[in-house]
Structure 1
Amino acid sequence: MLTRLSIRNIVLIEALDLEFRGGLGVLTGETGAGKSILLDALGLVLGDRAETALVRAGEDKASVTASFVFPALPAGIAETLDDAGIEIEPGEPLLIRRQVKADGGSKAFVNDQSASVALLRALAPALVELHGQHDDRGLVNPRGHRELLDRYAGTDLAALAAAWRDWAKAEAQLAEARAEVEQAKADEDLLTAHLAELDALTPEVGEEERLAAQRIDLQKGERLSGELEELRHIWEGSDSPLASLRVAARKLDRIAEEHPLLAEALAALDRAVIEAGEAEETLERAAEALVHDPAALEAAETRLFDLRALARKHRCEVDELPALMEEMRRKLAAIEGGEAELGALERAATEARAAYLAAADAAHEARAKAAARLDKAVAAELAPLKLDAARFRTAITGLPEDKWGALGRDAVEFLIATNPGADFAPLAKIASGGELSRFILALKVALAEKGGAATIIFDEIDRGVGGAVASAIGERLARLASDEGQLLAVTHSPQVAARGGQHYLIAKASSGTVTKTSVVLLGAEGRQEEIARMLSGAEVTPEARAQADRLLEGV
């Protein structure tokens, strides 16, 4: 609830610090004293437009600071602050400050951290609910009527939202699968042609490197074939070096025993024969590896070039072609199995839709039953508020499917008819501002136990009424206020003022050319005098004081 309001240099207010408690607080004063200035100042911390005309004449800036305290921080406020990166400790007050410069522009702060005006507007609905003569927010705005009815009905919105999310997810998966199948079908002919082209080559991983090495060897064989042929002639035949070495070794073997040096020479000659033999074998293998085969070279080059051309066509490496083939096969298989998968997804989406419709129907039924109770409860409040001929109705209408969502398929709006035989119309379209305020009070009383903003403000709800009606308004305002909540009423009615647990007097005084507005919290004697003034006018009479005492004693 609102615990403190500090105002500096706002219109006629130079400096003002007000403290508030829970329950019903009333603000009174003569017409023109400046009650609207307080509401304008509070509006600044709630995100209203910062008008430079609000800055007190002769000052360069104005400021308003509001302090709110909660037994436990409401979830909506906590989430909004968390999204904005603003931390608040448990039990810590929420401080909102707004500065307005005389030359234009404004700044906002939440717990001394810079904040946007949009953040103030996001916080406002959970902080203060203002109902005035020209109110176009709160209960008047039909956008909040469904939420109010759901709160009153205790609608299971969590189950409804979960069913909506499940249906939306199922529909998204189905749409994605359909798009994939449609795209695959569009690509089917091209995929088939590409796969046939790849199948004709059947590329293998590592094949490019192997073919490139083979091509190099075949090209070398072409270049070295003459030299290798000459070497073969040298090593072959009876007069070849190796044959001569073998002949020499045989002859030396016959006489090697005759002298140690001959034995050494034989051993060396044997090694030479062995190594020469190895050299011959190696040359033969080299000749085989470097054989000049024009057909094999052409085949290797043709396949290598074909593979590389295909890789360029598909913008990949040659070694990636086998994986590309498998991917194409999977896509073609997906086209064949896509219809079966679509069928399963369609069934899942149908089941999810049915579950959502069931949850939406349950929410509709809860709303319909609650609407009947609410209409009856509001009707019971209308006669005491001098709205005997008026009628109230909670209209629940179905939304087109493209407007369905996590909150169901219903649109909710509070309608009224102020005269017998008149058609029902939205709250905002009734003729009288006083009637509007009393309708809102009746609705708030009916909804009182179902939550709302921490602080509720009624601005001149008693305009144009008096006597028993004013007493009924005061009684209902007191009933609506509670120790856990807070209600402030700007009033001209002594019957309403007498109900207040706190009574603030707003007064305007002039000194020369300077006019100032002040606000004071009245004690018991001050309350009696102010209520007596409200009863009698400019001159307070003993009879008015006596009547004021009776009003105060009667509450």
Structure 2
Amino acid sequence: MLLSLTIRDVVLIERLDLAFPAHLSVLTGETGAGKSILLDALGLALGMRAESGLVRRGAQQAIVAAEFDIGPGHAARAILTEQGIDAEDTLVLRRVLGADGRSRGFVNDQPVGVGLLKQLGDTLVEIQGQFEQRGLMDPANHRTLLDAFAGARDMGDAVRTAWQAWRGARDAREAAKAARTKAAADEEYLRHALSELDALKPQPGEETLLAEQRARLMHSAQVAEAMTAAAQELAGERGADHALNVAARALERVRDKAGGVLDGAIAALERALVETEEARAALDQAMRDHERDGDLESVEERLFNLRALARKHGVAVDGLADLRDDIARRLGMLEDGEAGLKRLAKDEAEARARYTAAAERLTRLRQGAAQKLDRAVQAELAPLKLDRARFSTTIAPLAPDDWGADGAERVAFEVATNPGAAPGPMTKIASGGELSRFLLALKVVLARVSSVPTIVFDEVDSGIGGAVAAAVGERLARLGQELQVLVVTHSPQVAARGRHHWRVAKNQAKDTTVTRVESLDEAERREEIARMLSGASITEEARAAAQSLLAAGAA
């Protein structure tokens, strides 16, 4: 719900801080006092269109901040998480509008685009009567509202799941069909490419091994000469191992006479003999491997053939083996492609049938809920002086190509204001005053399933009075039991129903005019309602009538 609204330098408002309670709050005041400025200011914070004319004359910028309490399951939290903004218990939307018409948005003091303010605002406040095509007036919301009234959440989820499965099966079949068509067009090329790859039999990692082998073979003579020389130095009568053995035997003969002085040298010689033997064995193995390396010409031929084939297909040499498997798979699609397509078509048909069944169940639920909604709204219309009007929920089937995750029909709330007239969209059929009352009746019926916790009505009582105004006030108060409701009104019957009452007035000085907003106590409320009843000259009769209205509203 809306907790507070802070306004700085908006039109006639220099500085204003308002705290909003729950239930029904009313704003009253003489025409031109500036009540609409409050809604303009709130609209700024909610991301609505900004104009430089909203900046107070002489000020550099206008600032509006709206603070909201958002519960654990509020839709705004998901939007904040998606944007990487920490969701706290309270949410502050702030808009700064410069005199040049440029504006900046902030969410919890983090700079954001104005579009995000509007996206969040749509989950927080619904303004009826001033901004068209929002909330209940937006046909795009009607299907969602009907589903909420019908309690169709689980069934709607089932339809969305079935739709995604059907779409996935359809995409898989179409992708397989396109791949098979392309494979058929490229069959001759694919078979030639597979033949080349099979003839060469490339192996992963082969390029590195061949490159290393080629490097060795390019210096084969030098390497062989060095290995031979090393082997000769290690072996033979004048070799290293012969010398080490002679030295070790000489020391061993006098070891017992040296008193342990030669033990370290003898141990080192023994280790050297072992290391020398290991070196000779490793060198022998290297010489045998060198002999098996093959000839440079054949190694270079294979390496260059692999690299040429890789360039031809635009892949790395190590990717040739995978390319071969992919080409074989594509050719396999031609051989078993028809059977595979039939399997995928069967999967798609089954997924479509599951979606159709789920969508039909949702349609029946919507149809039943639409009848209940129409009866409930119709019952609210007569007391609102709309007894000749008719409200209807239209459920129109969509063409199969237009079916989607939300089902197979379009939902629209329509009205007819005269008997026998064809129903049509509320915004086109109803006048301003009628539209507000239609929306009020609909909102009262949908209050318990509303996803938006705060609703603002701008002069919902336009053009009515007496018993009809009293009926409007009674319904607004009832709506206030479920939601936070703010009403701009000229009707004393509506004003008397409020839990909280503000009066909007102008202060005119020599050079300036400033709008102020005052919170009224009970005595001040009675005076304000009496003024609304009798005009500038307040009579005792008007005060008595105001007291009567207040008493009826409190009952």
Other-structure match for 2:549: 551
Q: 1:299 to 1:24 in 2, by over 3 A?
A: closer
Q: 1:311 to 1:392 in 2, by over 3 A?
A: closer
1:344-423, aligned counterparts within 5 Å? 344-423=343-422
Report if the CA contact (8 A) 1:184-1:332 is conserved.
Answer: yes
Counterparts of 1:320 and 1:78, CA distance in 2:
47
Other-structure match for 2:492: 494
Q: Tell me whether 1:129 sits opposite 2:126 in the alignment.
A: yes
Provide the aligned length of Structure 1 versus Structure 2.
471
Counterparts of 2:376 and 2:436, CA distance in 1:
17
Q: 1:64 to 1:189 in 2, by over 3 A?
A: same
Q: What's the offset of the Cα at 1:401? A: 2.5
Residue from 538, 541, 553 that aligns with 1:540: 538
Counterparts of 1:382 and 1:455, CA distance in 2:
23
Q: What's the offset of the Cα at 1:421? A: 1.4
Report if the CA contact (8 A) 2:210-2:303 is conserved.
Answer: no
The amino acid across from 1:149 in the alignment is L
Q: What's the offset of the Cα at 1:145? A: 0.6
SS at match of 1:447: helix
Q: What's the offset of the Cα at 1:328? A: 3.9
Name the stretch that deviates more: 306-315 or 23-32: 306-315
Q: What's the offset of the Cα at 1:402? A: 2.9
The one-character-per-residue Cα deviations of 1:470-519 (angstroms, maximum 9, x if unpaired) are 0100000000112x620011111111000000010001120112111100
Counterparts of 1:303 and 1:20, CA distance in 2:
83
The amino acid across from 1:499 in the alignment is R
Counterparts of 2:307 and 2:501, CA distance in 1:
92
Other-structure match for 1:36: 36
Q: 1:346 to 1:530 in 2, by over 3 A?
A: same
Q: 1:353 to 1:320 in 2, by over 3 A?
A: closer
Name the stretch that deviates more: 445-454 or 373-382: 445-454
Other-structure match for 1:23: 23
Other-structure match for 1:48: 48
Q: What's the offset of the Cα at 1:452? A: 3.0
The amino acid across from 1:353 in the alignment is R
Other-structure match for 2:247: none
Q: 1:312 to 1:59 in 2, by over 3 A?
A: closer
The one-character-per-residue Cα deviations of 1:31-78 (angstroms, maximum 9, x if unpaired) are 1000000000000001012211111111111111111113x2444201
Counterparts of 1:298 and 1:490, CA distance in 2:
95
Runs of 5+ unmatched residues, structure 1: 221-288, 290-296
Counterparts of 1:317 and 1:519, CA distance in 2:
75
The one-character-per-residue Cα deviations of 1:421-476 (angstroms, maximum 9, x if unpaired) are 11111101024100000011111111121123111111111111111000100000
Counterparts of 1:320 and 1:10, CA distance in 2:
66
Other-structure match for 1:437: 436
Counterparts of 1:399 and 1:307, CA distance in 2:
57
Q: What's the offset of the Cα at 1:113? A: 1.1
Other-structure match for 1:157: 156
Q: Tell me whether 1:100 sits opposite 2:97 in the alignment.
A: yes
Q: 1:458 to 1:337 in 2, by over 3 A?
A: same
CA RMSD of aligned residues (A): 3.0
Q: 1:301 to 1:507 in 2, by over 3 A?
A: closer
SS at match of 1:508: strand
Counterparts of 1:79 and 1:319, CA distance in 2:
45
Report if the CA contact (8 A) 1:308-1:318 is conserved.
Answer: yes
TM-score by length of 1: 0.79
1:300-319, aligned counterparts within 5 Å? none
Percent sequence identity over matched residues? Answer: 53
Q: Tell me whether 1:460 sits opposite 2:459 in the alignment.
A: yes
- Quick check: which has more Rg, 1 or 2? 1
Runs of 5+ unmatched residues, structure 2: 222-290
Q: What's the offset of the Cα at 1:185? A: 1.1
Q: What's the offset of the Cα at 1:342? A: 1.6
Q: What's the offset of the Cα at 1:344? A: 1.4
Counterparts of 1:304 and 1:109, CA distance in 2:
62
Counterparts of 1:543 and 1:193, CA distance in 2:
104
Other-structure match for 1:233: none
Report if the CA contact (8 A) 2:180-2:330 is conserved.
Answer: no
Q: What's the offset of the Cα at 1:546? A: 0.5
SS at match of 2:186: helix
Q: What's the offset of the Cα at 1:25? A: 0.4
Q: What's the offset of the Cα at 1:329? A: 3.7
Q: 1:506 to 1:189 in 2, by over 3 A?
A: same
SS at match of 1:57: coil
Report if the CA contact (8 A) 1:133-1:436 is conserved.
Answer: no
Other-structure match for 1:283: none
Other-structure match for 1:510: 508
Other-structure match for 1:522: 520
The one-character-per-residue Cα deviations of 1:69-91 (angstroms, maximum 9, x if unpaired) are 13x244420111112211023xx
Counterparts of 1:542 and 1:419, CA distance in 2:
42
Q: 1:301 to 1:49 in 2, by over 3 A?
A: closer
Q: 1:535 to 1:336 in 2, by over 3 A?
A: same
Counterparts of 2:439 and 2:321, CA distance in 1:
75
The amino acid across from 2:60 in the alignment is D
Counterparts of 1:66 and 1:204, CA distance in 2:
68
Counterparts of 1:513 and 1:398, CA distance in 2:
62
The amino acid across from 1:405 in the alignment is G
SS at match of 2:161: helix
